[in-house]
Amino acid sequence: MRIALTCSLVLALAAASGCAKAHPTTTSPTTPAPASATPASVTPPPASPSSSARDAREDSAAAGGRVAALRRELDAVFDNPGVNALWGVEIQSFDTGEVLYARHAHLLLMPASNMKIVTMSVAAERLGWDYRFTTDVATDGVIAGGTLTGDLIVIGRGDPSISDRDGSRTRVFEEWAGKLKALGVTRIDGRVVGDDDALDEPAWGDGWAWDDLPFGYSAPVGALQFNENVLRLVVRPGRAGEPATAALDPEGSGLTVDARVATTAAGIDADLTVDRRPGTTVFRVTGHVAEGAGDVARTLAVENPTQYFAAALRQTLIAQGIVVSGPAIDIDDLTPRPNAARRVLFTCQSPPLTQIGTTFMKVSQNLFGETLLRTVGARDAARALPSPAAADASAPVATPPTDVDRAREAYESVLSSWGVAPGEYILRDGSGLSRYNYVTAHALVQILRRMQRDPRHAAAFDATLPIAGKDGTLASRMRATKAAGNVHAKTGSIANVRALSGYLTTANGERLGFSIIANNFKALPPAIDAIAEQAVERLVHFSR
């Protein structure tokens, strides 16, 4: 693959008015009185409504009053004069289908990582929760006398799980070394070749900001992915007045660091600027760190995921006692490309989508979103391949659609079948990092309701969402409130965008879905988050 704040806003929680449990609103049939109860000589008075029917009407009116009060309170929350933001909001009862509140609910807004709700839902529908990525380890050579004469070729299909999330980033490679030894291989007279042809390039999404590209959250996607295509920059202070040192971990990424970082006196906060221009291999680091403060680390993106993968595999094989005579290489760098027959030695499978999806949503892992987007597209491309007999040699050659093109068609097909109109979203990537993405609050609520009501998806999808005050990107938010443990929702954040969409249960057990998106604000993100949380906490206290 060639690929070249802190401000706090204290907002008082709106008074939880009308929180008493409502009476049932269904009417009960009246039971006629026995004939003896009305003497024949007495003319009964005109019939009057039964007490149960009257209570039902009164309760319905009271419930309507509580909804009206809720709407007024939420208007006051989002009209906060201290924050000038454009809000798109929809709150719907998933028990009744009633929209309890809406503000610009059909306005297209940048969703940031709330786009992951769309990606997770469509991927689950198209791939299934038990889907696993497969990686083949193959060769074009022969094994004899302990030596593999020929190249070791790894054929990837996008598995994003070969990383240190299980405690060891090279664990899978160590298992592969054991499998090779079991096949009698102790030496490879050839290269370690990474074949990334299963997924299309380029590896970044449309509309990603170029100055985000050096950082780990903008790591490029590929068919071969190691350590989530990131490495760590570690800056170590020296003595005050001396330069700090910097190193990249792990080694072998093909990238280098040019550090011009000073060591200041103890007690001064670190200030680092990291830059890598597109198409270059050097991270330039400037700024300062304090003496005695310990290492300062940043997560950075690799330039070529395939080369990174192949190099890490080669190093691990050598560390496990297998001699490798040739280099690690991206198949795109082989000219001419090899055409010898390959033999698959063994196949590795990823964890299922249930596990990958949980990481994707809980920690908001952008690389996983881009991988799922392209995987959906690649699967559709495989289904759409024409038979050789159907080819028309006289027809003009059209530019074939990319994996992302195919994925967009798949998304539209799935979403349309769920009743989400094409005009309610614009899709440009799978993670929400692109500033070309747009979606309405109404569309997100429709998708959430579909996932919550579909028995194939409900439990698995809900398990992927961060839980307020408990885990994921909501672990530190809404603690010590009734929202903690109750609100299951996806966060979203890019510059001048904040979003929160998910599920909650009200004080009287009603299931609500909500989407709150803020765009076009200048306030610091914590101020926007505080308003969204105030609205959500009001919903948790709501009762009809």
Strand partners, 459: none
pLDDT at 244: 97
pLDDT at 4: 41
d(CA 12, CA 528): 14
pLDDT at 272: 96
pLDDT at 44: 45
d(CA 254, CA 301): 12
- Three-state DSSP state, 287: strand
Question: How many CA atoms lie within 13 Å of 516's alpha carbon, on the beta-carbon side?
Answer: 26
pLDDT at 392: 60
Residue 76 in tokens: 């006051």
Instruction: Report the b/e string of 447-480 with b at 16+ CB within 10 A.
Output: bbbbbbeeeebeebbebbbbbbbbebbbeebbee
Count CB-CB contacts under 10 A for residue 350: 19
Instruction: Report the b/e string of 168-191 with b at 16+ CB within 10 A.
Output: ebbebbeebbeebeeeebebbebb
* Residue with tokens 């529908």, as numbered in its chain: 125
Find out whether 253 and 330 touch, Cβ atoms under 8 Å. Answer: no
pLDDT at 64: 79
pLDDT at 260: 96
pLDDT at 57: 60
- Three-state DSSP state, 92: strand
**Omega cis (within 30) before 44:** no
* Residue with tokens 């001419």, as numbered in its chain: 336
Per-residue confidence in pLDDT tens, the chain, 544 aa: 444 433 333 333 333 333 333 333 333 333 333 333 333 344 444 545 555 655 556 566 666 799 999 999 999 999 998 899 999 999 999 999 999 999 999 999 999 999 999 999 999 999 999 999 999 999 999 999 999 999 999 999 999 999 999 889 999 999 999 999 999 999 999 999 999 999 998 789 999 999 999 999 999 999 999 999 999 999 999 999 999 999 999 988 889 999 999 999 999 999 999 999 888 899 999 999 999 999 999 999 999 999 999 999 999 999 999 999 999 999 999 988 888 899 999 999 999 999 999 999 999 999 999 999 999 999 987 666 555 555 565 666 678 899 999 999 999 999 999 999 999 999 999 999 999 999 999 999 999 999 999 999 999 999 999 999 999 999 999 999 999 999 999 999 999 999 999 999 999 999 999 999 999 999 999 999 999 999 999 999 999 9
Residues 6+ apart with CB under 8 A from 13: 534, 537, 538
Is residue 7 packed enough to be buried (19+ CB in 10 Å), middle (13-18) or exposed (0-12)? exposed
Angle, CA 120 vertex, CA 117 and CA 124 arms, to 5°: 140
Rounded to the nearest 10°, the torsion over CA 79, 81, 82, 86 is 40
Find out whether 274 and 249 touch, Cβ atoms under 8 Å. Answer: no
pLDDT at 87: 98
Find out whether 226 and 176 touch, Cβ atoms under 8 Å. Answer: no
DSSP string over 528-544: HHHHHHHHHHHHHH---
pLDDT at 59: 60
pLDDT at 35: 37
> What domains can you pick out in the chain, each with its CATH number?
71-128+357-383+401-541 (3.40.710.10), 134-203+305-350 (3.50.80.20), 214-301 (no CATH)
Closest C-alpha among 111, 98, 100 to residue 73: 100
d(CA 257, CA 246): 7
Global confidence as pTM: 0.86
Find out whether 207 and 436 touch, Cβ atoms under 8 Å. Answer: yes
Find out whether 472 and 363 touch, Cβ atoms under 8 Å. Answer: yes
